Structure 1
Amino acid sequence: MSELVARTGRHQQRYESGCRLIAGCIPYRFRCSEDSNGNKSEKIVEVLMINSTSGPGLLFPKGGWENDETVEEAAAREALEEAGVRGDIMHFLGHYESSPGGRCRAAMFALLVKEELSSWPEQSRRVRSWVTVPEAIQCCRHLWMREALENGFMKWRDGGMVPTRGCK
């Protein structure tokens, strides 16, 4: 059982023009691939996704942005509570409307994972999966999260974030 406790309730959450403000992140790490001879050849980016508690498909950690924290703190907290990871916020990926009616506005960030906890607040309800970016695009439950991955994360990544060589 985790000693950390997830925040609950919506009494401290932020709203703007009737829209609930949420924060989330795309947790990522580098993994070295191996060629047919077992030699490490290139670095591959993997993203961490979690199961949805309300239906099929995977998603990125996200949740309400509360009055006593910055949006970056909220995104990092959600990654810890829902996925059991800690890391460094590396880049703001943009704002995304989480539903066609705009009930939620999500600020999404790239989070470089530094630590993967063996115990975390929502571990009894969440399963985490490290997947490649193409796999994430295929299994992502929400269109707006897929857009954050394709239009935010991938553009930032392709701008120089990912070293493709240099595995030792």
Structure 2
Amino acid sequence: MYMNMCVPFRYKSSGDDDSSSKKIIEVLMINSPSGPGLLFPKGGWENDETVEEAAVREAIEEAGVRGDLMDCLGCYEFRSKTHQDEFSPEGWCKAAMFALFVKEELQLWPEQNTRNRSWLAVSEALGSLRHEWMRDALERFCKWHEEKFVDGTI
């Protein structure tokens, strides 16, 4: 099973004065109806959409956010109990991961009755993630951000 995932992020000022304060990166996490811990929005894609379009759609459906989809940060393999079938009894999935710079947080979204969203500093998110492979993905996101945005912001 092929899936997509995005790391939604934004900047928050660390002080009272926006002009001199440092910007802190926050990432958006969602809960899973199937168990404890937090996740990034992820899911499969439809036949009529690209992986990028699917990542944007999943961010809207699961987390209720829109923004600019940025670089693909890599691919991950993981096991999923919900995707075990005759073709993949082990439930192996492969996910392409993208960075999503959030520009709009929707008040209403398709999965709002089953998902709660939480903005967390990266250090908090690392301790809250449900899966090890997502922690690795977040670390890769941090490295990508540091290399791409030398001044710390977009």
TM range (shorter): 0.7 to 0.9
CA contact (8 A) 2:146 2:152 kept: no
Selected match of 1:32 from 5, 10, 13: 13
2-structure distance, mates of 1:143, 1:66: 27
1:109 maps to what in 2?
98
CA contact (8 A) 1:33 1:44 kept: yes
Aligned sequence identity (%) = 62
Equivalent runs, 1:1-150 vs 2, <5 Å: 20-34=1-15, 38-40=16-18, 41-99=21-79, 103-150=92-139
Unaligned runs of 5+ in 2: 81-89
Unaligned runs of 5+ in 1: 1-19
Post-superposition Cα deviations, 1:19-75, rounded to whole Å, max 9, x if no partner, equal x000110000011111xxx33410011000000111110000000122111000011
CA contact (8 A) 1:80 1:86 kept: yes
1-structure distance, mates of 2:52, 2:143: 20
Give the TM-score, by structure 1 length.
Answer: 0.80
1-structure distance, mates of 2:135, 2:144: 15
Number of residue pairs the alignment of both structures matches: 142
Give the TM-score, by structure 2 length.
Answer: 0.87
1:145 aligned partner, one-letter code: M
Q: CA RMSD in A?
A: 1.6
- Tell me by how many angstroms 1:162 deviates: 6.0
1:158 aligned partner, one-letter code: E
